[in-house]
Amino acid sequence: MNVQTWTYLLVAITFAIYIGIAIWSRAGSTKEFYVAGGGVSPLANGMATAADWMSAASFISMAGLISFAGYDGSVYLMGWTGGYVLLALLLAPYLRKFGKFTVPDFIGDRYYSNIARLVAVISALFVSFTYVAGQMRGVGVVFSRFLEVDVNTGVFIGMAIVLFYAVLGGMKGITYTQVAQYCVLIFAFMVPAFFLSIQMTSNPIPQFGFGDVGADGSFLLDKLDGLHRELGFHEYTSGSKSTTDVFFITAALMLGTAGLPHVIVRFFTVPRVRDARKSALYALIFIGILYTTAPAIAVFARTNLIETVSEQPYEGMPGWFKKWELTGLLEFSDKNNDGKIQYLADPEANELYIDRDIIVLANPEISKLPNWVIALVAAGGLAAALSTAAGLLLVISSSVSHDLLKKMVMPDISEKTELWAARGSALVAVCVAGYFGIHPPGFVASVVALAFGLAAASFFPAIVLGIFSKRMNKEGAIAGMVLGLLVTCFYIAKFRLKWIGDPATSGADYWWFGISPEGFGTVGMLLNFIVAIIVSRVTKRPPDEIGEIVESIRYPKGASKSISNH
């Protein structure tokens, strides 16, 4: 069978499984809609968390970004992996013990203020909409190539699918759907990696293969460094980013992870705090499989791409090249009219534009892998994007229906009405997400990195201080969150949104302190911490019962007073 037939077949099978699971596990109550009834096993929750975590940015865009950026792309690996460890060890068990399944709910109760809750709802919406834009963009990229439709049509198809099982099943449907999606995405990511590692180095383990000796007797990374130097690109295994920017991006990704609402809520779907810890460990193992393989995929893809296209006649390009051209994500402009593709670092002489988000999807075709492998990667990319999109839509709908409507506007609302409000919110959210997917402020990994920065600047200080400081009050938390969110939003808008920022002053030369928009969330986070602590010290202490709540979530039941005082 050809690639098109295999793609239709595998995508149809996987989508039928997702929809079938959503129908089987549809939510009948708000508890099932928000936290899957709280009865998910640690292993299943670990797989669902991994699928929720490994979005289109991880599957489609991260290896592509590393492939183009080389050493500089490692900040995404360090930030996202370290961030999950930080969340699992430092925050998740305490939040689970507190018993509030949304971040705004935790902040509203911990800081005894509906204003704090409202600020947290607004922050959650900013983070989630920015994040989900990257997922819908990823869905559009996959559909545009493999179903041979344009990117916008691909986004609309993805919107319809994710809306169905997110609105029908809620967290219960999403959890079990994400278990299936994890199996699909990890299989789809690893199979090409094994093929390519054997093909290029004879080493079957990709994590070791990309540093091994290739068929020509030279180390693969040395060969790629040489190809980069010949074309004028920065050496692949050394960085061009400033140390300051690398630090700030890594910190924003790590600390933003600890404030991501759609990941935190996963720790409430298990019965006990102990199960939350177990599921965090399982998820880390499942996540590590993909994250340790991504650099290998990046090296294999970059080497194959350069050797396939550089100085080659355009008319002799294989079919995959022409099909990606139809999507607009790959473009050739023969500037010197010699009929050959000049792929160079110099923008004046370069004749080839390659969208970073296509590299993982095109890699199996470039390497001439079997058609079923090419189609499998398409199905995996869709699984990664849709799993995270569904989790984010649930955060958006619960923020509106539970945190805003139930807790603030209509406290006497019935459970049935609240459930319908949650589904209606998800419907509106998916429409907004689709718009941002069609008009994203960058490639997938970049857009997702911005969401992490917003989470770091708004939620991380409020959560950490809420758990570990009995002195932190509502005035400090509100002031810190508002300032952190506003400063970071302004910076991102100035340098990433074309319809706000001035193109003449939006380049790297104009970044404040040399910090990119992807890393500026760290600055917002630091300002949040500073302002929150100062304001809390010059305003009234929180009520005594708040201090008792902080004590109760930090120490196990039955702990002696002498222990709790240390």
CATH number for 259: 1.20.1730.10
Is residue 566, in this structure, part of any structural domain at all? no
**In this predicted structure, what is the pLDDT of residue 430?**
79
Is residue 492, in this structure, part of any structural domain at all? yes
Task: Count how many domains the chain has.
Answer: 1
Is residue 515, in this structure, part of any structural domain at all? yes
- For 313-332, what is the mean pLDDT? 85
**In this predicted structure, what is the pLDDT of residue 564?**
38
Is residue 314, in this structure, part of any structural domain at all? yes
- For 279-300, what is the mean pLDDT? 88
Is residue 423, in this structure, part of any structural domain at all? yes
Domain holding 321, by residue range, is 3-558
Place of tokens 């439709």: 149
Q: 322-358 burial by CB neighbour count: b if 16+ within 10 A, else e?
A: ebbeebebbebeeeeeeebbbbbeeeeebbbebbbbb
For residue range 147-156, what is the model confidence (pLDDT) as tens digits?
Answer: 777 777 878 8
Q: Cα torsion at 89, 90, 91, 97 (round to 10°)?
A: 70
Is residue 477 pLDDT above 90, yes or no?
Answer: yes
pLDDT confidence bin for 540, thresholds 50/70/90: very high
pLDDT confidence bin for 27, thresholds 50/70/90: low
Is residue 426, in this structure, part of any structural domain at all? yes
Is residue 565, in this structure, part of any structural domain at all? no
Q: On the CB side of 161, how many CA atoms lie within 13 Å of its CA?
A: 28
pTM for the predicted model, two decimal places: 0.78
Q: Is 259 helix (H, G, I), strand (E, B) or coil?
A: coil
Count other Cβ atoms within 10 Å, centred on residue 12. Answer: 11
Which long-range contacts (C-beta less than 8 Å, at least 24 apart) are formed by 150-153?
150/327, 150/328, 151/327, 151/328, 151/329, 151/438, 152/438
Q: Which of 68-77, 249-258, 419-428 has the lowest mean pLDDT?
A: 419-428
Is residue 479 pLDDT above 90, yes or no?
Answer: yes
Is residue 563, in this structure, part of any structural domain at all? no
Whole-number average pLDDT of the chain: 80
**In this predicted structure, what is the pLDDT of residue 563?**
34
For residue range 126-143, what is the model confidence (pLDDT) as tens digits?
Answer: 887 777 777 777 777 777
Q: Which of 99-103, 138-142, 444-448 has the lowest mean pLDDT?
A: 444-448
